[in-house]
């Protein structure tokens, strides 16, 4: 069972030598950090490596955390930097979805998925599929905004850009996501017909 | 100028000014185009907010904590020792040496040399020289020496370790 203590209390306990407090902190944020990493890596193994690397980096620099922002914002800035470094290293194709000829290929799903039809697939499946097709930056902004409980200013801080830029990027990312979602749904319907 | 969609997203997010917020609310109520678009975006917003987060593998937390534990175990002893302990040991040595020095100096008969007269018949065999081992019989002195040896070995071990690490690099 996860601790009811706040992030700050868990950090203080960790700095005091209680490592299990950090394990609680990891459990609390692991799903979000892993999802963010997936926005960049696309493969689960790579995403898990990035996410683990982020938590280890965060542990090492925990004493330098000034508590001027939320721990999650600080952690997400580490995720963003680590993921960007990963992208640079791996040279993953990050072609724009505007270019229909070269959009990112979706990772093949586990067996069994092919048997699903449009009726069985939930809207969230299509949403996740559409998010995977976005540029990493767009997918990250959307994920941070909707699931990370981050304001535009906090997202800007994590990504090292201006809040206004985030606002514009969020608007564009929503538009692209909407288009991609509609296109995917339309494609599925056409296949059935 | 902002598009209808941009205005409506700002309205939904609550990022526009209070006056703008009121104006858009009126437009949604009165203008059918705004109303239709607003409902569409609101539905999208609800869908986006319901997006599911992915779950890492079961061993995720365990792997992180294991890496951290291994890293901590690899840290040299020097980093784990509190500086106050080192200061305490240094203070102990300084005090011990000072006490020993005072004890030895107080044992010396300083007046023995004053008014020295050469005996008429110098008989060297009669001079009694205290054997050095007499000074090392007390348990306190023995304990002190034992502690010195242990600390000496500790420092040597530390020195050799550092040398070893430097070689590996």
In sequence order, what DSSP letters do the residues of B35-99 get, joined into one string? HHHHHHHHHHHHHHHTPPPP---TTHHHHHHHHHHHHHHHS-HHHHS-HHHHHHHHHHHHHHHHH
Residue in the block written with tokens 């070689």: B167
Percent of chain A with pLDDT over 70: 80
Which CATH number goes with the domain that contains A153? 1.10.10.10
The mean pLDDT of chain A is 82
User: Nearest-CA residue of chain A relative to B50?
Assistant: A124
Q: Do B56 and A48 touch (CB under 8 A)?
A: yes
> Do residues A87 and A100 both lie within one domain?
no
In a domain, B124, yes or no: yes
Number of domains, chain A: 2
Q: Using an 8 Å CB-CB cutoff, list chain B residues near A44.
A: 54
> Do residues A74 and A100 both lie within one domain?
no
Confidence of residue A105 (pLDDT cuts 50, 70, 90): very low
Please give the average per-residue pLDDT across B88-95, as a whole number: 91
Contacts of residue A54, Cβ cutoff 8 Å, sequence gap at least 6 = A33, A37, A75, A78, A79, A82
Q: Do A30 and B60 touch (CB under 8 A)?
A: yes
User: Nearest-CA residue of chain B relative to A48?
Assistant: B56
Residue B113 has pLDDT above 60, yes or no: no
Q: Do A19 and B65 touch (CB under 8 A)?
A: yes
> Do residues A105 and A55 both lie within one domain?
no
Residue in the block written with tokens 């502690």: B147
In a domain, B54, yes or no: no
In a domain, B55, yes or no: no
Q: Do A56 and B64 touch (CB under 8 A)?
A: yes
> Do residues A64 and A117 both lie within one domain?
no
Contacts of residue B149, Cβ cutoff 8 Å, sequence gap at least 6 = none
Residue A148 has pLDDT above 90, yes or no: no
**Poorest-pLDDT segment among A141-145, B26-30, B40-44, B120-124:** B120-124
Domain closes at, from A46, A65, A92: A92
Q: Hey, what are B132's tokens? A: 């050095």
What 8-state DSSP symbol labels residue A110? P
> Do residues B36 and B67 both lie within one domain?
no
Chosen from A17, A25, A32, A35 to mutate, greatest number of chain B CBs within 10 A: A35
Confidence of residue A170 (pLDDT cuts 50, 70, 90): very high
Query: What residue numbers bound the domain in which A77 lies?
Result: 1-92
Query: What residue numbers bound the domain in which B26 lies?
Result: 4-49
For A51, which of B47, B56, B68 is closest by C-beta distance?
Answer: B56
> Do residues A78 and A115 both lie within one domain?
no
Sign of the alpha-carbon torsion through A183, A186, A190, A191? positive
Residue A35 has pLDDT above 50, yes or no: yes
> Do residues A105 and A64 both lie within one domain?
no
Residue A16 has pLDDT above 80, yes or no: yes
**Poorest-pLDDT segment among A87-96, A103-112, A179-188, B30-39:** A103-112
ipTM above 0.85, yes or no: no
**B69 min Cα distance to partner chain A (Å):** 9
Q: Do B60 and A152 touch (CB under 8 A)?
A: no
Report the alpha-carbon distance of residue B110 to residue B119 in Å, rounded: 19
> Cβ of A34: how many Cβ atoms within 10 Å?
24
Domain closes at, from A47, A74, A92: A92
> Do residues A103 and A192 both lie within one domain?
yes
Report the alpha-carbon distance of residue A12 to residue A107 in Å, rounded: 40
Q: Hey, what are A159's tokens? A: 């990504």
Number of domains, chain B: 2
pLDDT in tens, B29-65: 999 999 999 999 999 999 888 888 889 999 999 999 9
Residue A3 has pLDDT above 70, yes or no: no
Q: Hey, what are A25's tokens? A: 């902190």
Chosen from B49, B50, B54 to mutate, greatest number of chain A CBs within 10 A: B54
Cα angle A179, A133, B38 (rounded to 5 degrees) comes to: 30
Cβ of residue B43 closer than 8 Å to a chain A Cβ: no
> Do residues A76 and A26 both lie within one domain?
yes
> Do residues B73 and B36 both lie within one domain?
no
> Do residues B18 and B88 both lie within one domain?
no
Residue B8 has pLDDT above 80, yes or no: yes
Taking alpha carbons only, the member of A184, A179, A177 closest to residue A39 is: A177
Which CATH number goes with the domain that contains A37? 1.10.1740.10
Q: What is the pLDDT of residue A184?
A: 84
> Do residues B103 and B139 both lie within one domain?
yes
Q: What is the pLDDT of residue A104?
A: 42
Q: Do B67 and A142 touch (CB under 8 A)?
A: no
> Do residues B66 and B86 both lie within one domain?
yes
The mean pLDDT of chain B is 82
Report the alpha-carbon distance of residue A183 to residue A172 in Å, rounded: 16
> Cβ of B51: how many Cβ atoms within 10 Å?
18
Chosen from A174, A175, A180 to mutate, greatest number of chain B CBs within 10 A: A174
> Do residues A175 and A189 touch, judged by C-beta distance below 8 A?
no
> Do residues B35 and B65 both lie within one domain?
no
Confidence of residue A108 (pLDDT cuts 50, 70, 90): very low
> Do residues A12 and A84 both lie within one domain?
yes
Where residue B48 falls (left for φ over 0; alpha for ψ -120 to 50; beta otherwise) is alpha
> Do residues A76 and A36 touch, judged by C-beta distance below 8 A?
yes
Report the alpha-carbon distance of residue A31 to residue A57 in Å, rounded: 17
Confidence of residue B143 (pLDDT cuts 50, 70, 90): confident
Please give the average per-residue pLDDT across A72-94, as a whole number: 83
Q: What is the pLDDT of residue B28?
A: 92
In a domain, B13, yes or no: yes
> Do residues A87 and A101 both lie within one domain?
no
> Do residues A45 and A127 both lie within one domain?
no
For B15, which of A128, A143, A167 is closest by C-beta distance?
Answer: A167
> Do residues B41 and B89 both lie within one domain?
no
Q: Do A177 and B15 touch (CB under 8 A)?
A: no
> Do residues A54 and A88 both lie within one domain?
yes
């Amino acid at each position: 069972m996860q601790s009811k203590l706040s992030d700050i209390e868990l950090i203080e306990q960790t700095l005091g030598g209680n490592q299990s407090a950090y394990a609680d902190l990891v459990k609390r944020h692991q799903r979000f950090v892993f999802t963010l990493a997936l926005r960049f890596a696309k493969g689960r193994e790579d995403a898990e490596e990035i996410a683990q690397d982020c938590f280890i980096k965060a542990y090492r620099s925990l004493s330098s955390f000034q508590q001027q922002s939320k721990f999650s914002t600080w952690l997400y800035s580490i995720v963003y930097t680590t993921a960007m470094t990963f992208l640079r290293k791996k040279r993953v194709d990050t072609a724009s979805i505007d270019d229909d000829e070269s959009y990112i290929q979706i990772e093949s799903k586990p067996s069994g998925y092919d048997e699903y039809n449009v009726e069985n697939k939930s809207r969230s499946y299509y949403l996740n599929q559409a998010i995977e097709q976005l540029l990493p930056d767009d997918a990250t902004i959307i994920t941070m905004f909707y699931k990370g409980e981050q304001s535009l200013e906090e997202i800007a801080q994590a990504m090292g850009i201006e809040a206004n830029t985030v606002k514009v990027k969020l608007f564009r990312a929503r538009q692209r996501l909407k288009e991609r979602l509609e296109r995917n749904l339309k494609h599925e319907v056409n296949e059935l017909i | 100028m902002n598009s209808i969609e941009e205005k409506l997203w700002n309205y939904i997010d609550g990022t526009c000014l209070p006056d703008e917020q009121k104006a858009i609310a009126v437009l949604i109520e009165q203008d059918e185009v705004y109303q239709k678009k607003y409902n569409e975006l609101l539905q999208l917003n609800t869908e986006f907010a319901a997006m599911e987060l992915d779950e890492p593998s079961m061993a995720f937390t365990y792997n992180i904590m294991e890496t951290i534990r291994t890293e901590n175990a690899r840290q040299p002893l020097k980093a784990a020792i509190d500086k106050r302990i080192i200061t305490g040991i240094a203070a102990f040595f300084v005090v011990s040496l000072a006490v020993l020095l005072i004890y030895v100096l107080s044992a010396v008969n300083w007046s023995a040399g004053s008014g020295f007269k050469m005996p008429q018949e110098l008989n060297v065999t009669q001079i009694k020289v205290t054997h050095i081992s007499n000074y090392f019989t007390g348990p306190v002195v023995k304990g002190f020496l034992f502690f010195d040896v242990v600390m000496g070995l500790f420092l040597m071990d530390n020195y050799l370790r550092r040398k070893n690490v430097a070689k590996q690099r």
